[in-house]
Amino acid sequence: MNTISTTSATKLSKVLRKTNVISEHDEEDLESNSTIWTENGTQTKFGKKTKPGTVIPRGLKQIVPTNKPNKRKVKLMNWKKYHRLNVIYAFIDELERDYPAICTVSVIGQSVEGRDIKMLKISNSDARNSAIWLDASIHSREWISTAVVTYIADYIARNFHSLPTSITNKDWHIVPILNPDGYEYTHTHDRMWRKNRAKHDGERVGVDLNRNFSCGWGNNGDEGSSEEPSSVFYRGPMPFSEPEAIAVRDTILGSTVIFKAFLSFHSYYELIIFPWGYKREPCPDYLKLLEGGAVMARAIFESSGVTYKVGSTKDMTYYACGTSTDWSYAIAKIPYSYMIELRSKKYRFKLPKDQIMETCKEILSAVKSLMEFIDRN
């Protein structure tokens, strides 16, 4: 396929106008799209289709049409680097196009600044299935979390028909970027931004979305969250004040399929933690959750040799009030609710790109093991 630079495209457009091949309106498309169609409808690397009988200027090679389907543009998605929001969304849209029998992309809400919150659902539509929830980047600076859930989504979609029943008997609800405004902001302005981009008194101070859920909201004063908008733990003016948290709530509570597991991915403590975060007492299913967490930690260690500790949120870290995992366990009644803190304590939020793939593989092993554990119990 012949390619021509943008500069050459501009020059070419003037030539084509003089020879009446394109109109002034077409010229704008030519320069912006850098694609041109030959008279038989085949494409080189420019834009609009010309009218039948159009003479192709000298220097443009005609391409013989074939019956082969058009090849997609160069694949942008990989796990060798961190990607922007548009690439992530294009990736899940591509999975839907490639695997329409099992993949569906939907918009479950919009962010404070009006960006779509997209969810990929992978399902064989069996009415007997249970549901699994995976989300990432509720805290926008935790880029590795999005890499991990997109890797899991890619693996399940592309290998679905050869995977064990413990994977295929579930409806996978995957939200790769729960905080799209903050995620974009970390790429364009402040790499360490954690919250969403909500306004307070006219300023975009943001709300910590993982302190905005209703279970335990505002408990323990400033020890588990903050009422100060300037704080990174600012919980918002009330539970579910933020549309991003509402999107999670409404999607899960509005589902007709029973959720068995809720996995929210974070970084960087290398932990597998579960309720409670807002109080000291063990949750009613403490031992079962501990066992499920241990199953995941064992799978990670066998995969990569990295040790993840397991325990309740309060025991492993600190008071965290209004978290999505406390809410999913207590209110949504999802029995296996975990927050998985990914790598790495050494690099904190800036995990090197050469560790992305290792992290993805170890967590995929953990999720697969948890699914087997859930089906046995």
- Report the distance separating Cα 235 and Cα 226, nearest Å: 6
Element (H, E) at 120: strand 116-122
The tokens of 117 are what?
Answer: 């919150």
- What is the residue-wise DSSP string for 317-365? S----S-HHHHHHHTS--SEEEEEEES-TTTTT---GGGHHHHHHHHHH
In terms of residues, how long is the chain? 377
- Report the distance separating Cα 59 and Cα 76, nearest Å: 31
Q: 302: which residues sit within 8 A by CB, 6+ positions away?
A: 365
> What is the three-class DSSP state of 251?
helix
- Tally Cβ neighbours within 10 Å of residue 178: 31
| Closest by Cα among 372, 373, 309 to 342 | 309
8 Å CB contact between 274 and 329: yes
8 Å CB contact between 153 and 122: yes
CA contacts within 13 A on the Cβ side of 201 = 4
Choice among 341, 358, 362, 372 that is catalytic? 341
- Report the distance separating Cα 36 and Cα 58, nearest Å: 14
Q: Look up 372 and say whether it is catalytic.
A: no
Active site residues: 341
